[in-house]
Structure 1
Amino acid sequence: MSPSVARRRLLLALTTLPLASLAVLPGAARADEAAPGQPELVVLGRGLQAPPASPAYGSTDIAGDRLNQAASGRIEDALASVAGFQQFRRSDSRSSNPSAQGVTLRALGGNATSRTLVLLDGVPMADPFFGYVPLSALSPERLAGARVTRGGGSGAFGAGAVAGTIELASASADQLGRFAGSALVDDRGDTELAGTFAPQLGSGFAVLSGRWDRGPGFWTTPPAQRAAASVRARYESWSAGLRAVAPITSDIELQARVLAFRDNRTLRFAGADTGTAGEDASLRLVGRGAWQFDVLGYVQRRDFTNVVVSAVTFRPTLNQRATPSTGAGGKIELRPPVGGGHLLRLGGDWRVATGETLETGLTPTVTYRRAGGTNGDLGVFAEDDWTLGALILTAGARADRWSIRSGHASIARPDGTFTSNLTFADRSGWLGSLRGGAVAQVSPGLKLRAAGYTGLRLPTLNELYRSFVVAGVTTNRNPLLKAERLAGFEAGLDLAPLPGVSLSVTAFTNRVRDAIANVTSATDPNQRTRANVAAIQARGLEFAAHLERGPVSFDGSLALTDAAMRAPGQALNGKRPAQTPKVAAALTAAFRPATGWTAALTLRHVGAQFEDDLQTDVLPAATTLDAFVQLPLAGPASLVLRGENLTDTRIITRNSGGTVDLGVPRTLWVGLRVGLR
């Protein structure tokens, strides 16, 4: 059976599987019908528990209620409570080009592709062609929480985690309640509607969720730079999901998930329309018996469209009319009962990404462009955690068989004749990764940890085969790009001197060899080429603090990073990677009295960044203040008030020779939330 046929059959099975049958699969007796003496069925709806040595890699957990208190209501702002989290640009998912929504950590950016692996219920969420993350489709109200691991290497997560891993977990029916919904409007007329319906079905449950955002948006163009063609950043997006979880036996459960989304935006000029679309489906089988296992399979279909409008003539110059891509993969992890204080993890994973860009040129000499290919990765891993009293040791190894194949790029004239019709040689090989660490509970309130790791990321199809133009600057493809390889080390301590008080500090050094960057030509500043530079080196300190006293809590995060490009003989050598700040910080103060209402203020600071690799265009530092208030009204209803950028700080998100784009101005939201248990 071909991979394409297998993907179609998996998608068909997932989209036609009746919910009722999931609740009463063979061997899945209802809890209230269990025979006397038989174990009660407990359905969790999540993966296996994190291994005991996971704290060695300095992970940070964000609870679901904190994700839902972001003033913008968007996942990227919720994750930004972990200092060092960033997209390629400072714009959020209402006003940025989706292809710039690459996610990174530890100032290891440099281009718009994600260097951080983002997982939803174990499924990689990056676009198969571009590598960006569809942030508007990841709604906070559907999530139980997030775990952010800065660094950590590939390990059992899979390839792609060169800057870390963000694990998002869907909420269960117990966490969501039978029904929850919200409706909000802001002072510009933008609206946000969201809801979840989570009925219990026998011993299992289902979650039906949806969200719709739309609005006229805000001005991203400063008043002095506006032209007749300038418009607000209009947007409209929706997403809908269906998730079902059912027991197979007392310690095995089946999880199924389907997600569909659309997102359309207009950026800067009338007619500069961009859109994304996708459908994802996955099946997961989790066993929590003596032989624990996690078996996962998924398929994704994505598309991207984009019309480029000239900043000089204000006319369309390129219509990226479609970028169809398909992602598919799976993972199996087995934890045999080896005993002796060991937790052994064995397994493998497989991923494939196929796609191409279909573009119509709007010039007299070019009418059609087509470029794409297929990337694949097959990995096997083994990892062991060994608990020796107050000391936990961990070590793991991974091997990846990667492939880059079927690469092509062509350009045709209006009469149909090709001016360029290229095919690129297939490539493949093996790369290995190692990681290990230790956690020592020195005293009840002091934990020491250290870890070393390696990892890898294949170049995306976009980096390999697609050239593009932004604000008059051409970035050229490079079909010969090599995989990025991470080597890192970190050490830290976690201190809990008093109940409700915790502090942590981590010192790290991470080096990404053969880092892929957009390198400016030595002879033409308007020409850049994707290239492997020798390395990106990042060293720094990360701090986190939590204080809770009765109804008052404070959560703070600070990242101080010294990142530099290592490219001997090139102009960018020693310079900071594009779009990476030295300082990032966040502080949230929350008040939750017994009466059930919540108030939170978040102060966030991002240091100065540079637009490009040569540090010619600066993005000044920005400090913003956000607010969130939820007040109970009558019954299940609550009043919600949100405020973004209350100080109306000028946030420059793009700077090309003084032509700038702006981030969100002061924005005030009001609405209602309803929750029925």
Structure 2
Amino acid sequence: MSIHARLFLTASSALIAIPAAAQDSTQAPDEAESEIVVIGEGLAQAPSVVAYAVSEIERAVIVAAPSGRIEDVLANVAGFQQFRRSDSRSSNPSAQGVTLRALGGNATSRALVLLDGVPMADPFFGYIPLSAIAPEQLAGIRVTRGGGSGPFGAGALAGTIELESADANALGPIAASLLGNDRGETEASASLAQELGSGFGVLSARWDRGQGFYTTPRDERVPASARAAFDSWSVGLRGVAPLSDTVEIQVRALAFRDERTLRFDGADSSSEGQDASLRLVGRGDWQFEALAYVQARNFSNIVMHSTRFVRVLDQRNTPSTGLGGKFELRPPVGGEHTLRLGIDYRRAEGELQEEAYSAFTGNLTERRRAGGTNTNLGLFVEDDWAVGALTLTGGLRADRTSIADGFYRAVNSSGAIAKETIAADRAGWALSWRVGAAFDASDVLRLRGAAYTGLRLPTLNELYRPFVVFPVVTEANAELRNERLEGFEAGLDFSPSDRFELSMTAFENRVENAIANVTLTPILRQRQNLPAIEARGIEASAKAALGSVKLDGSIVYSDASIEGRGPSADVDRNRPPQTPRWAASATFGWAPALGWEFAAALRHVGAQFEDEQESDRLTAATTLGFFARVTMREKLQLVLRGENLTGTRIVTRNSAGSIDVGTPRTFWAGLRYGF
């Protein structure tokens, strides 16, 4: 039986058991008087959260994004950054890395993204499968900026993005939406939610498809130029049930597939995955959270020659598996202390399988294989102490990291080895920590400060997989070292009333051994550890409400630079690739009547550079989006959306003057029921 079949068999069995568990919890007559309420989330946030820069996005904001994409929602947060400006319909999936705090654009995520407590990053590449995350299925998002050393701290180099799924009450028994745009593309979503005894179950699905737009500007198009066509679907199952009056079980399964075409006919990519997780949460005197998960992922990509427009590389198969889990315990120590003890584990293994072809004859020239296994075992302890208006927090984490079984092998068409690398196994321990304090100076003002360190392993992709964006070749590097972050921040939260909130944070972060694609020649790059990337800046966010009008805005200024010299040029003090100096977002909302809502979203991203050489510039871009919903009858709504209404030219790639552009002006209209 395949891993995919075993995965779904396990998840299905668990989901089938949930209704029975829920029913059993309510059958005893003497228990009917005390209703058991399940939450469907992890343990409550520890008091330490007040010491860090945290942004929360409510469900009402999540479902009102002009594009309907999760990356559009996250762009509301000061400092959120994708590797490229393209959204998840018109970028290569393997380039969907996300980060915070101007720590350098990277196809691998430097921010840890969790869905119901489970890391979402691809085990091989480290990118986030953004198209598999349906915003309308979420209850809320919490973004904590700055390095972390607590649960799943490894990987949270720039911060943590926590996505929480909505429960049956928020979704309603039946919910569905169907929208189309002016290019004939469609977006369809639906969910069925049912209370099952004292628990609930949710079945959800989403399908996005369309011909896309030309990412190649009109004056650069050739007969082989193609629209950025996309076809993606995802199906999710989630169940929550009580095992006792203080313990609940949560089961989740997700399957998705995404197919895209970029720039040229035949330049097709696909990504797919099947994930399952099981979480037990205890909310008694001895609180605990136990989580286990498994991921089965794959990726394929065809690279076309940029002048002959024929296939030169077929990355036909990249199977990978992620396994992991954590256990956290909060004993009742008393004395205004919240003590957290725990252990977490992650394992990623995968293998690249690709073939290279001659651009002139079309004949096979090489077969390539590459892969390995990365593991991380973490032990952590953290204590929060509330002393009147002062909250103190401190945590220590020890990680045992292992990079093993790494190899790269290329054989020519006759089967002879053309190149082979057998990487040495290596392992070691690393310590990280974080401390923070928050002081409630008054009922309306909180002052806070924190310092922290962090850790990220290089991914299997960075270590072993070379890639081509023709004609530029980027080589892997099996000798890459772990990235290490040191940082501190200070800020304030000001809330003079429940109608106004202001948050400001000044930060300085330094990533040593930062992994980047370093230019060796005009057509050759290699992944290397830079001595460091330093980023400092100020981020601010504000929320205001006046009757039926709301304003939600954020802005960040960052001064980031590379430390060190490059092999082909001096890059010391250059700005990290794909990192703007300014970024801002403002959303104006108006709800004139019950069931009526109008919102306009203004976004600005400053100029940035394509690579560390600062030779190719991506111009600044300011865009305007629009969302409207009008209730027609009960839960049936008319929905109108607009993307990039100003028609701004959004440059997403610039390679020596050859550019790609982002989403043009786009109008959506459709119906929504229940969401």
Hey, what does 2:479 align to over in structure 1? 480
Hey, what does 2:102 align to over in structure 1? 107
Hey, what does 2:292 align to over in structure 1? 297
Q: Please, which runs of 5 or more residues in structure 2 have no aligned partner?
A: none
Q: Answer whether contact 2:7 2:274 (CA < 8 A) is retained.
A: no
Question: Any idea what the Cα deviations from partners look like across 1:521-544, whole Å, max 9, x if unmatched?
Answer: 1xx222111111111000000001
Hey, what does 1:672 align to over in structure 2? 671
- Residue 97, structure 1, aligned to residue 96, structure 2: no
Hey, what does 1:566 align to over in structure 2? 563
Question: Any idea what the Cα deviations from partners look like across 1:29-60, whole Å, max 9, x if unmatched?
Answer: 22x86526863200110101001120211110
Shift of 1:361: 0.9
- Residue 549, structure 1, aligned to residue 546, structure 2: yes
> What secondary structure, in the 3-state scheme, does the structure 2 residue paired with 1:249 have?
coil
In 1, distance between residues paired with 2:183 and 2:619?
26
Hey, what does 1:183 align to over in structure 2? 178
In 1, distance between residues paired with 2:393 and 2:29?
40
> What secondary structure, in the 3-state scheme, does the structure 2 residue paired with 1:562 have?
strand
Q: Answer whether contact 1:154 1:160 (CA < 8 A) is retained.
A: no
TM-score (norm 1): 0.97
Instruction: Write the letter of the residue equivalent to 2:260.
Output: R
Q: Answer whether contact 2:23 2:197 (CA < 8 A) is retained.
A: no
Hey, what does 2:66 align to over in structure 1? 71
Hey, what does 1:627 align to over in structure 2? 626
Q: Answer whether contact 2:304 2:470 (CA < 8 A) is retained.
A: no
Question: Any idea what the Cα deviations from partners look like across 1:581-627, whole Å, max 9, x if unmatched?
Answer: 00000000001233221110000000001001101000000000000
In 2, distance between residues paired with 1:551 and 1:672?
23
Hey, what does 1:195 align to over in structure 2? 190
> What secondary structure, in the 3-state scheme, does the structure 1 residue paired with 2:373 have?
strand
Question: Any idea what the Cα deviations from partners look like across 1:395-437, whole Å, max 9, x if unmatched?
Answer: 0000000000000110011111211232111000000110010
Shift of 1:556: 0.6
Hey, what does 1:593 align to over in structure 2? 592
Q: Answer whether contact 2:84 2:105 (CA < 8 A) is retained.
A: no
Question: Any idea what the Cα deviations from partners look like across 1:108-127, whole Å, max 9, x if unmatched?
Answer: 12421100000001110000
- Seen in structure 2, the aligned counterparts of structure 1 residues 8 and 490 have a Cα distance that, compared at 3 Å, is farther
- Which of 125, 128, 131 is the equivalent residue of 2:123? 128
Q: Answer whether contact 2:628 2:640 (CA < 8 A) is retained.
A: yes
Hey, what does 1:47 align to over in structure 2? 42
Question: Any idea what the Cα deviations from partners look like across 1:335-361, whole Å, max 9, x if unmatched?
Answer: 000000000000010000000110011
- Which of 522, 529, 534 is the equivalent residue of 2:531? 534
Shift of 1:28: 4.5
In 2, distance between residues paired with 1:391 and 1:285?
32
- Residue 24, structure 1, aligned to residue 20, structure 2: yes
Hey, what does 2:508 align to over in structure 1? 509
In 1, distance between residues paired with 2:666 and 2:277?
37
> What secondary structure, in the 3-state scheme, does the structure 2 residue paired with 1:53 have?
helix
> What secondary structure, in the 3-state scheme, does the structure 2 residue paired with 1:296 have?
strand
**1:2-17 → structure 2 map (5 Å cutoff):** 12-17=9-14
- Residue 154, structure 1, aligned to residue 154, structure 2: no
Hey, what does 1:420 align to over in structure 2? 419
Instruction: Write the letter of the residue equivalent to 1:227.
Output: V
Deviates more, 1:589-598 or 1:52-61: 589-598
In 1, distance between residues paired with 2:284 and 2:34?
12
> What secondary structure, in the 3-state scheme, does the structure 1 residue paired with 2:231 have?
strand
> What secondary structure, in the 3-state scheme, does the structure 2 residue paired with 1:35 have?
helix
Q: Answer whether contact 1:610 1:619 (CA < 8 A) is retained.
A: yes
In 2, distance between residues paired with 1:428 and 1:74?
39
Question: Any idea what the Cα deviations from partners look like across 1:515-572, whole Å, max 9, x if unmatched?
Answer: 0011111xx2221111111110000000011101111110110010000001157611
Deviates more, 1:4-13 or 1:273-282: 4-13
Shift of 1:65: 1.5
Instruction: Write the letter of the residue equivalent to 1:554.
Output: L
Q: Answer whether contact 1:609 1:618 (CA < 8 A) is retained.
A: yes
State the percentage of identical aligned residues.
Answer: 57
Instruction: Write the letter of the residue equivalent to 1:134.
Output: P
Q: Answer whether contact 2:99 2:105 (CA < 8 A) is retained.
A: no
Q: Answer whether contact 2:447 2:493 (CA < 8 A) is retained.
A: yes
Shift of 1:367: 2.6
> What secondary structure, in the 3-state scheme, does the structure 2 residue paired with 1:16 have?
helix
- Seen in structure 2, the aligned counterparts of structure 1 residues 319 and 332 have a Cα distance that, compared at 3 Å, is same
> What secondary structure, in the 3-state scheme, does the structure 1 residue paired with 2:50 have?
helix
Deviates more, 1:392-401 or 1:465-474: 465-474
**1:308-457 → structure 2 map (5 Å cutoff):** 308-363=303-358, 366-457=365-456
Q: Answer whether contact 1:149 1:164 (CA < 8 A) is retained.
A: yes
Shift of 1:499: 3.2
Shift of 1:310: 0.9
Shift of 1:10: 6.3
Q: Answer whether contact 2:120 2:129 (CA < 8 A) is retained.
A: yes
Hey, what does 2:165 align to over in structure 1? 170
Q: Answer whether contact 2:454 2:486 (CA < 8 A) is retained.
A: yes
Hey, what does 1:224 align to over in structure 2? 219
In 1, distance between residues paired with 2:442 and 2:208?
49
Instruction: Write the letter of the residue equivalent to 2:137.
Output: R
In 1, distance between residues paired with 2:300 and 2:657?
27
Instruction: Write the letter of the residue equivalent to 2:414.
Output: D
> What secondary structure, in the 3-state scheme, does the structure 2 residue paired with 1:113 have?
coil
Q: Please, which runs of 5 or more residues in structure 1 have no aligned partner?
A: none
- Seen in structure 2, the aligned counterparts of structure 1 residues 110 and 628 have a Cα distance that, compared at 3 Å, is closer
- Seen in structure 2, the aligned counterparts of structure 1 residues 7 and 56 have a Cα distance that, compared at 3 Å, is farther
| CA-based RMSD | 1.6
In 1, distance between residues paired with 2:140 and 2:66?
17
Question: Any idea what the Cα deviations from partners look like across 1:199-238, whole Å, max 9, x if unmatched?
Answer: 1111110000000000011111101000000011001000
Q: Answer whether contact 1:24 1:246 (CA < 8 A) is retained.
A: no
> What secondary structure, in the 3-state scheme, does the structure 2 residue paired with 1:633 have?
strand
- Residue 285, structure 1, aligned to residue 280, structure 2: yes
Q: Answer whether contact 1:23 1:247 (CA < 8 A) is retained.
A: no
In 2, distance between residues paired with 1:529 and 1:56?
39
TM-score (norm 2): 0.97
Shift of 1:9: 6.0
> What secondary structure, in the 3-state scheme, does the structure 2 residue paired with 1:174 have?
helix
- Seen in structure 2, the aligned counterparts of structure 1 residues 7 and 283 have a Cα distance that, compared at 3 Å, is farther
Shift of 1:18: 4.4
Q: Answer whether contact 1:640 1:670 (CA < 8 A) is retained.
A: yes
In 2, distance between residues paired with 1:596 and 1:76?
26
Hey, what does 1:616 align to over in structure 2? 615
- Seen in structure 2, the aligned counterparts of structure 1 residues 417 and 301 have a Cα distance that, compared at 3 Å, is same
Shift of 1:575: 0.5
Q: Answer whether contact 2:256 2:274 (CA < 8 A) is retained.
A: yes
- Residue 210, structure 1, aligned to residue 205, structure 2: yes
In 1, distance between residues paired with 2:332 and 2:577?
47
Shift of 1:11: 5.5
In 2, distance between residues paired with 1:34 and 1:656?
71
Shift of 1:152: 3.4
Instruction: Write the letter of the residue equivalent to 1:492.
Output: G
Instruction: Write the letter of the residue equivalent to 1:66.
Output: V
Instruction: Write the letter of the residue equivalent to 1:335.
Output: R
Shift of 1:78: 0.5
- Seen in structure 2, the aligned counterparts of structure 1 residues 17 and 453 have a Cα distance that, compared at 3 Å, is same
